[in-house]
Structure 1
Amino acid sequence: MGLLKIILIILLVYYGFKVLSRLFAPLLVRFVAKKAEEKFGGQFGGFQNPNQQREQQKQKEGETVIDKMPNTKRSSKEKVGEYIDYEEID
């Protein structure tokens, strides 16, 4: 009798999980797709969120905006190597 109870509980859980997954899987897929769209849309300049649209509207056409100043501490005086003259031999 105990073995039969265990088998029935396992079958009930299995079919219950199947029914619930059919109900909630589309919602989960939509949620994941929406999150992926937000993530990739920001990277590729696709759809913008409302905050980005407001910032873009504040800028006038033809106006130049610098978001980040370049690092000015670079120096090209670093010695990379030595220049060696060479002759072509025919």
Structure 2
Amino acid sequence: MQTASFTGFIETIFYMIAFYYIFKFLAKLFLPLLVKKVVQKAGENFQKQQQYSQDNSWNKTQSKNEVIYDTANSKNPRETKKVGDYVDYEEID
């Protein structure tokens, strides 16, 4: 069985502090590059999805040879539900 020594404790604290500062330094160097790469990848995926969606909708409208206008929303404005009558209460002294 080993006993802990004061120098071993100081050495462990030193390694922990050194690891913290090295990690912090490397994070400042490589984290912006990593974030930039992730953002570019997400942008590429977004563009692929948009392209697929446009191609898919273009093929559907091209095969039907018709144009569809959605005029339901323009003629009828949005109606609200009327649940009941509004009752104005007066305070009695």
- Output the TM-score relative to the length of structure 1: 0.49
Q: Which has the higher contact order (CA 8 A, sep 6+)?
A: 1
Higher helix share: 2
Greater radius of gyration (CA) = 2
